A = this chain, B = another copy of it.
């Protein structure tokens, strides 16, 4: 057995407390797996007090001093916001410590800077917990699929929005009701913006796209739509189409006709056929669906949030980083060699569901269809749903694949037609073969 590996933990919230607890309660197992015991040398917190559930002499509010202590080998960052986490991590890396972090917002913004510092210091920077909590996603993409070519990653990676959408699907509730219920049950925060507007999912999409396609993708490269406009009517239509609606983080490698490759990273609510494995991922569960050239379709499913599941992912990284300290060697470093350009959303081909209110008179369908056809948006099916009344008829069009640009122009043109009383909803359809 080698000398103890010194660990500093930054942050003592849900996840930090659980990590500290497991390091103590599983000490002998962890030591056997690493080849050396783990020892917590200090825990960085804002408030040093003796009611924090850990020995008070472990606590410190001097993060800078903690991360550069000689007896610290690995720093586990679980503080959350971008700052002071960034400063703490850079301090640790520059002092030659390996780093484990769950900070998706920071990684989606500063992955390049952190990777460079890790590379310079020749230490590990692990972040399995940053995407989809306990579900192994980063390691399968960077290691298991290291010899394959990933085509597309489609993830349900935000538990709050998945809880809300699942509730809307199950109960027929509207968005506001489902959001309120999620808040009461602790699945949505008081200010739910980061979740419901897709910012959290976009940060994770940036991380997934970066590692899947060996290209630096940051949160601002990700196209983003939230779920706030999804209505009970949309779920009615979805059911009629044998679909549900999920907020997807999609990362895709697109090849132009001239062979140019681009990366698309985008977040939006989408219709998903009930037969697709992602459709049955409900409530606060997360899943990541991967399509690769040789492997075909893979899915990783599990709990995407919560103290214990996130701690599991953090501890996996911690054990690997500690093993590397004991045995020599490092895990795979950031790989960004492909440097693919980012595809703008206008170029992205997807299928669309367009729901509109139209006047109930002859020739309407032909007029509507002409607007699609003019912009080479091919229609797969048209359905009239529900009753016709004095406010007209509800028309639902499902298209074949069209670019976002062509579809947007079509929708604008439809809205200008006299016979179209209003375009109520435009949602993409994902997970079908064509």
Contact = CB atoms under 8 A, between A and B. Distances in A.
B296 A146 contact: no
A338 interface: yes
A144 B337 CA distance: 25
Interface stretch (A176-184, A190-198, A301-309): A301-309
A356 interface: no
A287 to B, nearest CB: 8
A140 B147 contact: no
Contacts of A295: 134, 302-303, 308-309, 312-313
Contact of A147 (B144, B146, B293, B316): B316
A19 to B, nearest CB: 9
Contacts of A303: 295-298
A337 B33 contact: yes
Given A294-B22, A309-B294, A330-B327, A146 B33 contact: yes
A135 interface: yes
A426 interface: no
A371 interface: no
A148 to B, nearest CB: 4
A1 to B, nearest CB: 11
A308 B320 contact: no
Interface stretch (A24-32, A79-87, A384-392, A393-401): A24-32
A237 interface: no
A33 B144 CA distance: 13
Contact of A294 (B134, B328, B337): B134
B316 A26 contact: no
Given A136-B140, A139-B143, A320-B146, A308 B296 contact: yes
Contacts of A33: 146-147, 214, 335, 337
Copies of this chain per assembly = 2
B128 A139 contact: no
A174 B149 CA distance: 40
A406 interface: no
Nearest to A337: B32
Given A143-B316, A147-B30, A147-B316, A135 B309 contact: no
Nearest to A137: B144
A332 interface: yes
B319 A147 contact: yes
Given A136-B136, A144-B128, A214-B32, A309 B296 contact: yes
A13 interface: no
Chain A interface size range: 35 or more
A366 B330 CA distance: 66
Contacts of A316: 143-148
Interface centre among A32, A319, A338 (most CB of B within 10 A): A319
Contacts of A315: 146-148, 294
A26 B150 CA distance: 12
A144 to B, nearest CB: 4
A212 B104 CA distance: 29
Interface string A29-57: 11011000000000000000000000000
Given A134-B292, A300-B300, A329-B330, 15 more contacts: A22-B147, A22-B294, A26-B147, A134-B294, A134-B298, A136-B136, A136-B139, A136-B298, A139-B143, A139-B144, A145-B312, A148-B315, A277-B301, A295-B308, A329-B329
15 contacts: A26-B147, A32-B337, A33-B146, A33-B214, A134-B295, A134-B298, A136-B139, A136-B300, A145-B316, A146-B319, A147-B318, A148-B312, A294-B311, A296-B308, A296-B309
Interface of A: 18, 22, 26, 29-30, 32-33, 128, 134-136, 139-140, 143-149, 214, 277, 280, 292-303, 306, 308-309, 311-320, 323-324, 327-330, 332, 335, 337-338
